[in-house]
Amino acid sequence: RISIRYHLEPLGKDEVPRYIHHRLTVAGSSGDIHFTPGALREIYHYSRGIPRLINLASDRALLAGYAEQSREIQRETVIKGLKSLEGEESPVSSGVFKQRLMLGLAGLLIFLLGVFVAALFLDADLTLFKKNRLHPSAPATDAKSEQEKPQGNSFYTIQLGSYKTEAEALEVAERVKSTGYPLFLAKATASDGTSPHRLFLGQFAQKAEAEEVERTFKKVEGFSQIQVVLTSTQLSKKTAP
């Protein structure tokens, strides 16, 4: 058994009249049946050039013309014939409808999937929120910062310098008092027997905080020899005038 399959492409608008004329000739017409230009345009508009639909529309138009006892098929005759097709499914419109239906269903499925995933995340966040609210965890503590906290009455301070006389120390204090940090003087006894006056700036509970101020003073104020120290010494309350 040999089978042959051939796919016909849609006909062009100018090919439809010749195709209908050919079909009429094959059917035995002697040329006494005539389709007007308006009728041909209506058939092409309905069929989009698909031969099977051209045949269907032409057949219904001829049937409507026979009912009117007219051998001239006009546009109105074609429309009457096509109305008899109402309720019958057109392959073109059916294909478009099915395609749009599938796209719509796919979009709806994606939307519902997104809602489902979002609901899962929201439920997980709500569960975690309730858990944290009922059983709040202790705030995290930096181990290094905890170790650097001074004990007792000790605190971190910044030694700005060591000066031979109190006047020199107070002169430096005058320069930096606008920073707002408290200034302290302490008289020490050096190994060479002298008693230098040391100037300290600030009281800090954390070493990191003191080091940050130290870096600022080195960069902005020009103090190059300053250093952060931990002291438990009762510093003098005397500050710059």
Q: How many angstroms separate the CA atoms of 194 and 126, rounded?
A: 69
Where does a domain end: 49, 81, 109? 109
- Residues 173 and 199: beta-carbon distance below 8 Å: yes
Residues 32 and 105 placed together within one structural domain of the fold: yes
**Proportion of the chain above pLDDT 90, given as a percent:** 0
Tally of CA atoms within 13 A in the half-sphere of 22 that contains its CB = 8
pTM of the model: 0.37
pLDDT at 12: 84
pLDDT at 235: 59
Q: What is the CATH number of the domain that holds 197?
A: 3.30.70.1070
Residues 100 and 24 placed together within one structural domain of the fold: yes
The answer as to whether 1 is a domain residue is no
Residues 21 and 98 placed together within one structural domain of the fold: yes
The answer as to whether 222 is a domain residue is yes
- Greater confidence (95 vs 82) lies with 82
Q: How many angstroms separate the CA atoms of 184 and 202, rounded?
A: 8
Residues 104 and 171 placed together within one structural domain of the fold: no
pLDDT at 200: 87
Overall average pLDDT of the 209-213 stretch: 87
Strand residue runs (E) in 116-196? 155-163, 183-187
What is the overall mean pLDDT for the chain? 76
Where does a domain end: 109, 135, 161? 109
Range of the domain at 183: 148-231
Residues 88 and 161 placed together within one structural domain of the fold: no
- Residues 57 and 26: beta-carbon distance below 8 Å: no
Q: What is the CATH number of the domain that holds 59?
A: 1.10.8.60
The answer as to whether 34 is a domain residue is yes
Residues 84 and 170 placed together within one structural domain of the fold: no
Residues 88 and 160 placed together within one structural domain of the fold: no
pLDDT in tens, 150-170: 566 788 888 888 888 888 888
The answer as to whether 14 is a domain residue is yes
Overall average pLDDT of the 91-118 stretch: 71
Per-residue pLDDT at 39 exceeds 80: yes
